[in-house]
């Protein structure tokens, strides 16, 4: 159960999603109707996939809106830096986030972002997506809530095939 929202809104918690994968933009879109969501990404494709969600796009150099390879949208702000930069996390709403979801393609970068959110911004609730099941134990020392992509995909595929396989075994 979440404590009182840090952002002080009566509408519910504020969620910051940080990531460079389509999991990040998909989670942000799914949560957007229920809570206040912001997405911080350094991937232009992921930014373009976040329909309607406020996006902070971290870019390598000074932001140049005309050079952006993402379709201009009112909800996209360009910021110098990367998703592991404190300034980018700060600008994207980390100080006010009640919950953070970290969905970065690299477990090392995910762990760094999760640690920054917990230590620098004191985000109480952080959920991190883990790509490699061998990394889960390391993550759980820093982030109490993890979701392993490999485990979820395996369970979903097994479930999808289970009925077909059990029918084939009995035929």
* pLDDT tens digit sequence for 108-155: 999 999 999 999 999 989 999 999 999 999 998 889 899 999 999 999
Share of the chain above pLDDT 90, in %: 64
Is residue 5 in a domain?
Answer: no
The total of structural domains in the chain comes to 1
Q: What pLDDT sits at residue 3?
A: 42
Inter-residue contact 57 to 76 (CB < 8 Å)? yes
**Cα–Cα distance between 42 and 21 in angstroms, integer?**
10
Domain with 82, as residue range(s), is 14-170
Is residue 9 in a domain?
Answer: no
At residue 47 the predicted structure's pLDDT band, cuts being 50, 70 and 90, is very high
What's the mean pLDDT in 42-71? 76
Is residue 85 in a domain?
Answer: yes
Is residue 149 in a domain?
Answer: yes
**Cα–Cα distance between 4 and 103 in angstroms, integer?**
25
Share of the chain above pLDDT 70, in %: 82
Is residue 7 in a domain?
Answer: no
**Cα–Cα distance between 2 and 22 in angstroms, integer?**
26
With b for 16 or more beta-carbon neighbours within 10 A and e for fewer, the 79-109 pattern comes to bebbbbbeebbebbbbebbbbbbbbbbebeb
Q: What is the CATH number of the domain that holds 132?
A: 3.40.50.720
Is residue 100 in a domain?
Answer: yes
Q: Is residue 145 classed as helix, strand or coil in its secondary structure?
A: strand
Is residue 4 in a domain?
Answer: no
What's the mean pLDDT in 36-54? 92
Is residue 142 in a domain?
Answer: yes
**Cα–Cα distance between 22 and 169 in angstroms, integer?**
36
Query: Which span out of 16-20, 31-35, 45-49 was modeled with the highest average pLDDT?
Result: 16-20
- The larger pLDDT score, comparing residue 15 to residue 60, is at 15
At residue 65 the predicted structure's pLDDT band, cuts being 50, 70 and 90, is low
Q: What pLDDT sits at residue 75?
A: 65
Q: How far is CA 119 from the centre of its chain?
A: 18
What integer best gives the mean pLDDT of the chain?
85
Provide the β-strand partners of residue 19. 103
């Amino acid at each position: 159960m979440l404590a009182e929202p840090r952002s002080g809104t009566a509408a519910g918690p504020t969620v910051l999603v940080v990531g460079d994968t389509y999991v990040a933009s998909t989670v942000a879109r799914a949560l957007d109707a229920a809570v206040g969501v912001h997405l911080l990404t350094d991937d232009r494709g992921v930014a373009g996939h976040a329909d309607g969600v406020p996006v902070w796009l971290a870019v390598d150099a000074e932001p140049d809106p005309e050079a952006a390879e993402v379709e201009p949208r009112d909800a996209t702000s360009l910021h110098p830096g990367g998703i592991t930069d404190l300034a980018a996390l700060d600008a994207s709403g980390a100080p006010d986030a009640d919950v953070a979801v970290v969905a970065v393609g690299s477990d090392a970068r995910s762990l760094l972002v999760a640690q920054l959110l917990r230590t620098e911004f004191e985000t109480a609730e952080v959920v991190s997506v883990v790509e490699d099941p061998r990394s889960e134990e390391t993550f759980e020392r820093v982030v109490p809530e993890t979701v392993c992509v490999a485990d979820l995909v395996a369970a979903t595929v097994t479930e999808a095939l289970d009925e077909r396989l059990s029918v084939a075994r009995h035929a």
